Amino acid sequence: MYTSGTMGTPKCVQLSHRNILSQQAALAMLWDLGPDDRFLSYLPWHHSFGGIFELFTALRTGATMYLESGYGKDPMEIMENWKLVRPTVFFSVPKVYQSLVELTRQDPEVERLFFHAGLKFIFTAAAALPQKLSEEFERRGVPVIEGWGLTETSPCCTLTDPVRKRATGVVGNPLPGITIRFAEDGEVLVKGPNVMCGYYKNDEANAGLFTDDGFFHTGDIGEATPDGLKLITRKDRIFKLSNGEKVIPSDLEKLIEFKCHYISFAMVVGSGQEYPIALLFPEQETIERPDYAVSLMEGCFCPRSWTNCATVCTAACMMRTAASARSSPRSRPL
Amino acid sequence: MIIDGELSLANNTLTPSMKVAPRKVVEAYRAHLENLYGAENALDEEVYIIKLDDIHTVGRKIA
């Protein structure tokens, strides 16, 4: 399976049957799933989350997997399929959960349908699930399980314990059979039967991939907490400005994304430059139909309490202005 | 820099698990970024620039 190539050219990850089945053996010790369970699946199979983790979990447990006809792109269609399938488990990413929970807020019937009594748990990965969002599930008795891993680790290395209170950014403890430790710079190192043997025909990428005692360099920086592993950032995203100041972009990105509901994605760059720049991608629907009374995220929300966070909220105000002035033919400063 | 556009799977700026693909985003907006560091590339797309110094000024006035 190829990596998605977020930071460069996709690499061909060599995963064995043993790698993949070891993951399922570990999950069998933790999750009680069986032939009566129903999956509603939209995650793509060319990616490890859908193609290895979800798919093989369904196969191993003998559950029924329904394929979502909209490929996960349309929340309304997911909900239509949800009505038909009434999944007992659901594997997804925070952005999709956010869209679905927004739908439940608009219609009590949809709310009852989505949080139905047969839903055993939801699984989330790929990014931190905002606390407010997970609370939407927890207060209705639907456990939230978060995992962390990479394609190179088949993919899951850690899982949160649904019984314990979630902490944003904490991705839980290692699965049975997997050992985690930290390098001196905080990089998370992993060893276990789930770890690949290397990249296919890629000597450059394989160089220095493992420690002398067989631990895999994941490229993620993290730290140990009482609740498990806390992820901080990708190692290759940390950069320095021209004055030597170190910038951890993900800290700034999370702050912006979680604090301002007008922003869908933020990305901070500026390696070697005098100052960093944040690229902000607006949440188009929210800009067109702002709702000051309801937000899934924590913090201040423009313009209700914008003095709490002048920078982000003023940016949001300006985005609204910008949205109404899109006829401008050229880039322009505000 | 506020961008009047969306990240998507279609243009590879998002991964299948809806994570931002940093290099693809930088590639897509390289000319804009270079301009913010002093270059003068010709641009067609709309972006909106907020200088933090200006924001701080606004914040002080309102406070």
Domain boundaries, chain B: 2-62
Distance CA A60, CA A42 (A): 18
Contact assessment for residue B49 and residue B18, using Cβ atoms and an 8 Å cutoff? no
Q: What are the C-alpha distances in Å from A2 to residues A18, A41, A178, B8, B19?
A: 18, 20, 22, 19, 16
Q: What is the pLDDT, as a whole number, of residue A199?
A: 96
Phi and psi at A107, nearest 5°, equal: -150, 115
| Residue of A93, A265, A273 lying closest to B20 (CB–CB) | A265
Q: What is the pLDDT, as a whole number, of residue A40?
A: 98
Angle, nearest 10°, between helix axes A131-138 and A94-106?
60
- Please count the other Cβ atoms lying within 10 Å of the Cβ belonging to residue A248: 16
Q: Is A46 on the interface with B (CB under 8 A)?
A: yes
Query: What is the chain B residue with the closest CA to A124?
Result: B17
Contact assessment for residue A50 and residue A59, using Cβ atoms and an 8 Å cutoff? no
Residues of A in Cβ contact (< 8 Å) with B50: 314-315, 318, 334
Q: Where are the domains of chain A?
A: 17-235, 238-323
Q: What value does the mean pLDDT take over residues B3-27?
A: 87
Q: Is A243 on the interface with B (CB under 8 A)?
A: no
Q: What is the pLDDT, as a whole number, of residue A7?
A: 66
CB contact under 8 A, B59 and A311: yes
Q: What is the pLDDT, as a whole number, of residue B44?
A: 73
Using omega within 30 degrees of 0 as the cis cutoff, is the peptide bond preceding A130 cis? no
Residues of A in Cβ contact (< 8 Å) with B3: 279-282
Residues of A in Cβ contact (< 8 Å) with B5: 281
Q: What is the pLDDT, as a whole number, of residue A34?
A: 97
Which residue would you say has higher pLDDT here, A63 or B20?
Answer: A63
Distance CA A81, CA A261 (A): 27
Q: What is the pLDDT, as a whole number, of residue A169?
A: 83
Q: Is B2 on the interface with A (CB under 8 A)?
A: yes
Distance CA A90, CA B12 (A): 25
At a CB cut-off of 8 Å and minimum separation 6, what does A271 contact? A239, A240, A241
Closest CA to A205 of A53, A13, A65, A4: A13
Q: What are the helix and strand counts (H, E) for chain A?
A: 11, 16
Closest CA to A216 of A238, A184, A177, A183: A183
Pairing relationship of beta strands A332-333 and B47-49 according to DSSP bridges: parallel
CB contact under 8 A, A7 and B4: no
pLDDT(B53) > 70: no
Query: What is the chain B residue with the closest CA to A46?
Result: B16
Residues of B in Cβ contact (< 8 Å) with A283: none
User: What is the residue whose two structure tokens read 């139909």?
Assistant: A289
Q: What is the pLDDT, as a whole number, of residue A163?
A: 87
Q: Is B42 on the interface with A (CB under 8 A)?
A: no
Rg over CA atoms, chain B: 15
Q: What is the pLDDT, as a whole number, of residue A314?
A: 53
CB contact under 8 A, B18 and A127: yes
Distance CA B4, CA A326 (A): 8
Which residue would you say has higher pLDDT here, B60 or A246?
Answer: A246
Distance CA B42, CA B31 (A): 8
Q: Is B46 on the interface with A (CB under 8 A)?
A: yes
What CATH class is the domain A17-235? Answer: alpha beta
**3-state DSSP call for residue A149?**
strand
Q: Is B56 on the interface with A (CB under 8 A)?
A: yes
Highest mean pLDDT among A195-199, B29-33, B34-38: A195-199
User: What is the residue whose two structure tokens read 């407010």?
Assistant: A132
List the pLDDT tens digit at each of the 334 positions of chain A.
998 666 678 899 999 999 999 999 999 999 999 999 999 999 999 999 999 999 999 999 999 999 999 999 899 999 999 999 999 999 999 889 989 998 998 899 999 999 999 999 999 998 888 888 888 999 999 999 999 999 999 999 999 998 888 888 899 999 999 999 999 999 999 999 999 999 999 999 999 999 999 999 999 999 999 999 999 888 989 999 988 888 999 888 888 887 777 788 999 999 989 899 999 998 877 777 766 555 544 444 444 444 444 455 555 555 555 554 443 333 333 3
